[in-house]
Structure formats: structure tokens, C-alpha cells
Amino acid sequence: QVQLVESGGGLVQAGGSLRLSCQASGRTLTSYTMAWFRQAPGKEREFVAANSRRSGSTYYGDSVKGRFIFSRDNAKNTAYLQMNSLKPEDTAVYYCAADLGIITSSIYNGEQYDYWGQGTQVTVSS
């Protein structure tokens, strides 16, 4: 069993930066694919970024490519999402997710992840 706790959300002006953290407990993260998703009010959940434990590769959603950076510190059992050049359309609740057995082709699909955090709100003002 994995418990995930996100932190680092808040209110920021457009063009600013935030770094989200996802602290895991219960298991070490090295065996897990880790991902970030987001959901804005009235919208479907959207894939943001993920790091595959199988391939070691990192994947990004089209809307955040070039602006967001996924990283993980296995020693701290923590994953991060550095968000730069934030836009008002980045406003959402951001969720951390983890899965042990997900295959790369399914990495974008939130339904495939077994473990989720409670979410952290990010609000970008114009």
C-alpha cells in the first residue's frame, strides 16, 4: 500500500512558477511509475506528466511541454513537478498518482493508476 501526499500548491500570477511535491509512504517509489494529473472545475482529468519505472523515460502532456518538469528523489521518496511560465489555464487541482505495474502505453490513462493523493490546488491569476 502506498500513501501519497501532495503539497506546494497555491496562488501565483501568470508567468510565475510553483513546485509541487508528492511525498510517498508505505513503499519506496523506485518500483513505481509516478505521474501528475490535474482537473479543473467542469473539466475532465488531464494527464500532466509521468515517469515510467519500466523505461525510465518521462512523458508530458502537450499543454505543459517545455514549461513543466517532472523529477523524483528516490532517497526522499518524493516526486516533484516544477511548473514554470504558468498560465491561467493551468489552474486546477493537481494530483499525484502511482502504480506498480502500469505499461508505458497506458501511462497517460488515469484509470490505470492504483494510488492517488488528495490533490493540491493551483490557481494562476491573469
Task: Specify the pLDDT at position 72.
Answer: 93
For 29-79, what is each residue's pLDDT tens digit?
888 999 999 999 999 999 999 999 888 899 999 999 999 999 999 889 999
Using only C-alpha atoms, the chain has a radius of gyration, in whole angstroms, of: 13
Reduced DSSP (H G I as helix, E B as strand, rest coil) percent helix, strand, coil of the chain, to 5: 10, 50, 40
Run of H or E including 119: none
Of 39 and 105, the structure prediction assigns the larger pLDDT to 39
Do residues 37 and 109 make contact, with C-beta atoms less than 8 angstroms apart?
no
Do residues 4 and 16 make contact, with C-beta atoms less than 8 angstroms apart?
no
Do residues 54 and 91 make contact, with C-beta atoms less than 8 angstroms apart?
no
